[in-house]
Structure 1
Amino acid sequence: MSDTGATGTAARSSGASATRKRWEPWNDPSERPHVQIANLTKRFGDFVAVDDISLDIYRKEFFSLLGPSGCGKTTLLRMLAGFELPSSGQILLEGEDMSGVPPYERPVNMMFQSYALFPHMNVEKNIAFGLKQDGVPKPEIERRVAEVIEMVQLNAFAKRKPHQLSGGQRQRVALARSLVKKPKMLLLDEPLGALDKNLRTQTQFELMNIQEETGITFVIVTHDQEEAMTVSSRIAVMDHGKIVQVSTPAELYEYPNSRYVADFIGEVNILEGRVDSREGDHLMIQSSEAGCAIQTGPSADEPVGRQVWIAVRPEKLSISLEAPASTPSSTWVNCLAGEVWDIGYLGNLSIYHVKLDNGKMVTATQANMARLIERPITWEDRVYLTWAPDAAVVLLN
C-alpha cells in the first residue's frame, strides 16, 4: 500500500503495484472512514494518557501509531479494543458507536506482544480456540484453521505445541489465531518486539502480504520507526498523548511538520537561523550555527527576521575534500566546513560525523559504490558539506 510496502511485493505484476501506489482513500472526499476517533481522551487520575485525539482510519489500511514509550499509543490501541474505556470522546467502527460495547462483542481482534498461546494446546487447537468459544460448527472451524495455517506457512508445524516452536513460529501462530475469526480490524501491540533483527525484517514483509491478502484493516503500535516506515500506508506520530502529524511514510520523512517529527523519523541535521530575504520562491536564511547563508527550496512566505530551523537529512549532504571553487567563505551558500570527527562503516554506506568550526556536530552519509577498503576521506580531514536548496525543509517549531 505504501511506497515502501511495494518493495515487499515486487514479484507481483507492475499493474498491481501501480494500483496500490494510487490507493489513497484519505485524499478522496467520497471515501467514508472505517474507524472514526473523535475528541478521544483517557485520564488516569491527574495523568492524561490520550489527549483529545481525533483521527480517521480507512478500510484496508495498514496504519501505525508511532512514538516513544509513554506517548499514549498503547492506551489508544486498548481503547480501540475495548480494554480501556475513554474518559471522553467517541470511537465509531463502520459508523457504529463502540461506547459500551465490550471487547468480546467488537468485530476487532488484538495480537499481543507476548503472543499468549496456550502451552498445552498444539498449533491447530490454539488457532481454533476462539472459534470453538463462539460455537462455530466443526467443519467450518477445520476449514478456516487450515486456511490461516496455509496463509502463515505453518503446515508442517500444525501438531506441535508452543514450546516446540521458534519465536518467529509462535508469532505466526498468534497472528493466525487473530485472523481466523475474520475481524473487521486487527490491532497489533508491538507484535515483532521479541524477534531478532533479521527475522523481524522478514516478518514485516510477511505481515504486509497477509494484510493485503485478507483486506483487513491493521492498526499497529510500535516505537520502531523503521518498522512503521516499512509496513504502513500511513503513520500517526504521537507525543505526550497527542498526535503531532499523520502522513504517509514518505511525507513524514521528506516533509516533517516540526523539529520533533524530523528528529524522531530517521537521522537529521537541524540548523537554526533567521529569514534574511526572499529571492523568488526561495528564502535566504542567515545562520551563525551553519557558518554560511542557507538558500531553501520553494517555501512559505515567512517574514524577514522570523526564526526558523532548517532540517537536512544526512544522505542529502555531499561531502568533499575540496572547498567551493573560487569563492570566499563569506559568500558560501549551503556549504558547511569542518573536521571529520568520527566515521562509521556499515558496508553499504559510511557515516561521517563532522565537527563544524563553531563546534556543532553534523552527520553526513555516503553510499559505498566502489569496493575500497581505504576510504578517500578519513579522520581529521577538513571537509565541506553541500546540499541542493530543495533538499532541506524549513521548520517553524
Structure 2
Amino acid sequence: MNTATAARVPFEPWKDPQAKPYIRIVNVTKTFGDFVAVDNLSIDIYQREFFSLLGPSGCGKTTLLRMLAGFERPTSGRIELDGVDMSTVPPYERPVNMMFQSYALFPHMTVEENIAFGLRQDRVPKDERNARVEEMLGLVQLSKFAKRKPHQLSGGQRQRVALARSLVKKPKMLLLDEPLGALDKKLREQTQFELMNIQEQVGITFVIVTHDQEEAMTVSSRIAVMNHGRIAQVATPTEIYEFPNSRYVAEFIGDVNVFEGRLSEAAADHVRIAPVGGGGEIYVDRGTSAAQGATVWAAIRPEKIDVALTPPTDPSVNCIEGTVWDIGYLGNLTIYHVRLADGRKMTAAVANRTRLREQPITWDDTVYLTWAPDSAVVLVS
C-alpha cells in the first residue's frame, strides 16, 4: 500500500470501552527518603500510542520513565506491560528499549555496527542480523552512511542511528528521554515529523519524556501533563490546548490570558463572568460545573483575540480597552502586549495574512481587544 496516499484512520483506542490498555501504571508511588517523586499515579496507555509525559523539571516524569524501563522500582503500586506485571522484572529481561538524549553511540563502531550491537549481544544469527540492520538503515534513511562512524554524522543523523539501534530488537515499548533536546530548533521540528512517521510504520508503543510543549503537541496521540508527581490532565493535544482542566494546565501549555471573576450567570449552555477589578463582562457559550456566584477563571489564548483601533458595536461584552505596550514581529505573527487600565497585561497574536496593513497598530496606541463567545474556557481551579 502506498502510505503517502492511503487514508489515515483516526487512532483513538482510549474512546473504545472494549479496548484493553497495553501499559497499565496502577497507583504507583516512588519515594527517595522523604521526597515523593511520583505520587499514587495511574495511567493507561494503549498499543501503538505515541504517549508523552510532559512537565517542568522535578515533576516526576523521568522517574516514571525509569520505572517503566526497570532502572527504578516503584515504592508501591504496579506496572503492567501486555498483561504482565513488570514491577520486579530487571531491565535486561524487559521487552523494552530506551533511547537517551545523549544517544550513547559507540564512537569506534560504524553506523551499522552500532545498530547491530544489541542483536550481537543476543546472538541473533548473522543472516537475520544483517537483514534487520539493513531494514533499520532503510527505515531511518541512512543506508548510504552505514560505514561511517558517529563523528562523521550530523546531530540529526546520530539521533536516527540511536533510534534504529533502539528499534532493531523489536521491543514492545520504546522509551525516549528528551530525544531531540540536542538538536537545533529547525532540525528538531523536522525530526519530530520523521519520528512520528517511523513510529507509525513500526507500530511500536512510544513513550516520550519532554519539557517542550510544542514537541509534545506535535508528536503525541495523548499527553499526560504532570505536576509534583501527579497527573494534572491526560488528553489529546487538541483537548489539552483547547480545553485545559485547570489554570496549571492552561498556563503550562502555550501562552494564555487568565482573568479571575465571579459567575454572574450560570446556565446550562452559557455563563457570564464579572471580572475582578471591573471591566467588560465575559460571555462564554458553554456551561460549567460551578454555581452562580462562584469564583472562576476565564482563559483566552492570544491567537483567539482580535486587536482593533476602534471599539466594537457592543464594547460591554468580551471587549477590553488597553494601550499597546510592546510589539513582537515574528514574520507569520505579530505579538501585541497590551497594558490595561488596572496595570494588568494581555497578549494577542495576530496572523500576518497580508504584507501591508492599511491601519498599522503601533506603540502607545489605544486598542480594543475582542474575542468570540466560544474562545474562552472557564476554569474552576
Taking structure 1 as the reference length, the TM-score comes to 0.93
Please name the residue that 2:322 is paired with.
338
Paired AA for residue 264 in structure 2: D
Runs of 4+ in 1 over 3 A off after TM superposition: none
Q: Which one of the candidate residues 337, 349, 353 is aligned to 1:369?
A: 353
Please name the residue that 1:172 is paired with.
160
In 2, Cα distance between the equivalents of 1:199 and 1:94? Answer: 34
Please name the residue that 1:6 is paired with.
none
Paired AA for residue 384 in structure 1: Y
Paired AA for residue 265 in structure 2: S
Please name the residue that 1:238 is paired with.
226
**1:146-161 counterparts in 2 under 5 A?**
146-161=134-149
CA contact (8 A) 1:292 1:335 kept: yes
Deviates more, 1:98-107 or 1:305-314: 98-107
In 2, Cα distance between the equivalents of 1:26 and 1:48? Answer: 29
Matched, 1:212 2:203: no
Q: Which one of the candidate residues 275, 278, 288 is aligned to 1:287?
A: 275
Matched, 1:386 2:366: no
CA contact (8 A) 2:98 2:166 kept: yes
Q: What count of residue pairs does the alignment treat as equivalent?
A: 380
Task: State the Cα deviation string for residues 191-240 of structure 1 (Å, max 9, x = none).
Answer: 00000011101100000000000000000000000000000000000010
Paired AA for residue 307 in structure 1: T
CA contact (8 A) 2:30 2:38 kept: yes
Unmatched 5+ stretches in structure 1: 1-9
Q: Which one of the candidate residues 237, 257, 263 is aligned to 1:275?
A: 263
Q: Following TM superposition, by how much is the alpha carbon of 1:282 offset from its aligned partner in structure 2, in angstroms? A: 1.3
Task: State the Cα deviation string for residues 103-159 of structure 1 (Å, max 9, x = none).
Answer: 111000000001001111111111101000001001111000000011101111111
Paired AA for residue 12 in structure 1: A
In 1, Cα distance between the equivalents of 2:142 and 2:227? Answer: 38
Q: Following TM superposition, by how much is the alpha carbon of 1:374 offset from its aligned partner in structure 2, in angstroms? A: 8.4
CA contact (8 A) 1:272 1:289 kept: no
Q: Following TM superposition, by how much is the alpha carbon of 1:188 offset from its aligned partner in structure 2, in angstroms? A: 0.2
Unmatched 5+ stretches in structure 2: none
In 2, Cα distance between the equivalents of 1:70 and 1:160? Answer: 38
In 2, Cα distance between the equivalents of 1:28 and 1:106? Answer: 28
In 2, Cα distance between the equivalents of 1:116 and 1:324? Answer: 58
In 2, Cα distance between the equivalents of 1:372 and 1:195? Answer: 35
CA shift in 2, pair 1:100/1:338, >3 Å = same
Please name the residue that 2:115 is paired with.
127
Q: Following TM superposition, by how much is the alpha carbon of 1:290 offset from its aligned partner in structure 2, in angstroms? A: 6.0
Please name the residue that 2:301 is paired with.
313
Task: State the Cα deviation string for residues 10-32 of structure 1 (Å, max 9, x = none).
Answer: 9833x523x1xx22100101111
Q: Following TM superposition, by how much is the alpha carbon of 1:375 offset from its aligned partner in structure 2, in angstroms? A: 6.3
Paired AA for residue 254 in structure 1: E
Q: Which one of the candidate residues 179, 182, 187 is aligned to 1:191?
A: 179
Matched, 1:12 2:4: yes
Q: Following TM superposition, by how much is the alpha carbon of 1:396 offset from its aligned partner in structure 2, in angstroms? A: 0.5
Please name the residue that 2:93 is paired with.
105
In 2, Cα distance between the equivalents of 1:162 and 1:267? Answer: 38
Taking structure 2 as the reference length, the TM-score comes to 0.97
Please name the residue that 1:258 is paired with.
246
CA contact (8 A) 2:262 2:276 kept: no
Paired AA for residue 282 in structure 2: I
Please name the residue that 1:69 is paired with.
57
Q: Percent identity?
A: 68
Q: What SS does structure 1 have at the residue aligned with 2:128?
A: helix
In 2, Cα distance between the equivalents of 1:366 and 1:73? Answer: 34
Q: Following TM superposition, by how much is the alpha carbon of 1:278 offset from its aligned partner in structure 2, in angstroms? A: 3.5
In 1, Cα distance between the equivalents of 2:267 and 2:93? Answer: 60
CA root-mean-square deviation: 1.5
Paired AA for residue 7 in structure 2: A
CA shift in 2, pair 1:290/1:74, >3 Å = farther
CA contact (8 A) 2:268 2:288 kept: no
CA contact (8 A) 1:338 1:356 kept: yes
CA contact (8 A) 1:292 1:336 kept: yes
In 2, Cα distance between the equivalents of 1:289 and 1:249? Answer: 33
In 2, Cα distance between the equivalents of 1:303 and 1:211? Answer: 45
CA shift in 2, pair 1:301/1:151, >3 Å = closer
Paired AA for residue 310 in structure 1: A
Q: What SS does structure 2 have at the residue aligned with 1:16?
A: coil
In 1, Cα distance between the equivalents of 2:118 and 2:138? Answer: 18
Paired AA for residue 152 in structure 1: V
Q: Following TM superposition, by how much is the alpha carbon of 1:296 offset from its aligned partner in structure 2, in angstroms? A: 1.1
Deviates more, 1:278-287 or 1:358-367: 278-287
Please name the residue that 1:43 is paired with.
31
Matched, 1:351 2:331: no
In 1, Cα distance between the equivalents of 2:290 and 2:175? Answer: 42
Q: Following TM superposition, by how much is the alpha carbon of 1:305 offset from its aligned partner in structure 2, in angstroms? A: 1.4
In 1, Cα distance between the equivalents of 2:73 and 2:180? Answer: 26
Matched, 1:25 2:9: no
Q: Following TM superposition, by how much is the alpha carbon of 1:165 offset from its aligned partner in structure 2, in angstroms? A: 1.2
In 2, Cα distance between the equivalents of 1:377 and 1:311? Answer: 24
Matched, 1:396 2:380: yes
